Amino acid sequence: MTHIALSRMDDLNERHLSSGLINTPPVQKGTQWCSTFTVTSVALTSLECKTDYPKWSNPGACSQNWQNFLNNLEGHEAGHARIAQKWANIDLKEEQQANVKVVACAPQKGTGLEKAGTTAISTKLGPISAKNKKHADEEGKAYDDLTTSGETQGAKMDCPCQ
């Protein structure tokens, strides 16, 4: 048996995962080499929630209003980050419990077969991530609806400034 570390990035807020895999010794089937790959562990190595905030180089008389707006917007965006973290953790737990085992084949043993195995694993885990990304997106939209995209949390700019 060979132990393989798989790192992959998915589209759930630039989430980096690492998976522990075990594959059985390759067996030749015709012109292909095949092996059974089993996921032994899944770990979240990083979660990046990036937010680009608006910039205003010279707010003049609006300086205090602008700073209040930015502070409140940061609080609102932190709510989105909490939603992303929640669904990343749910996704991680579901992937850990999935007991994924696949058979993969490639023309050669070694790297080609390992790549085929990791691709098959990612394909198998993909629907779990897609489902949870959909839930995260829906919850993020509901959060924006509830807060009027942060306005009820003070993330609004009253202009003109006095």
Q: Which residue ranges make up each domain of the chain? A: 2-153
> Which of 120, 106, 110, 107 lies closest to 39, judged by CA?
120
For residue 111, name the pLDDT band (cuts at 50, 70, 90): confident
121 band by pLDDT with thresholds 50, 70 and 90: confident
Report which listed range, 20-29, 31-40, 56-65, 75-84, is most confident.
75-84
Question: Diameter of the chain by CA atoms?
Answer: 80
C-beta of residue 133 within 8 angstroms of C-beta of residue 12: yes
Six token digits for residue 133: 């990304």
Q: What is the pLDDT of residues 70-108, one digit of tens each?
A: 999 999 999 999 998 899 889 888 988 888 889 999 998
Flag whether pLDDT at 162 surpasses 60.
no
Interval 38-53: pLDDT, tens: 887 777 767 778 888 9
pLDDT at 119: 87
Higher pLDDT among residues 113 and 2, named by residue: 113
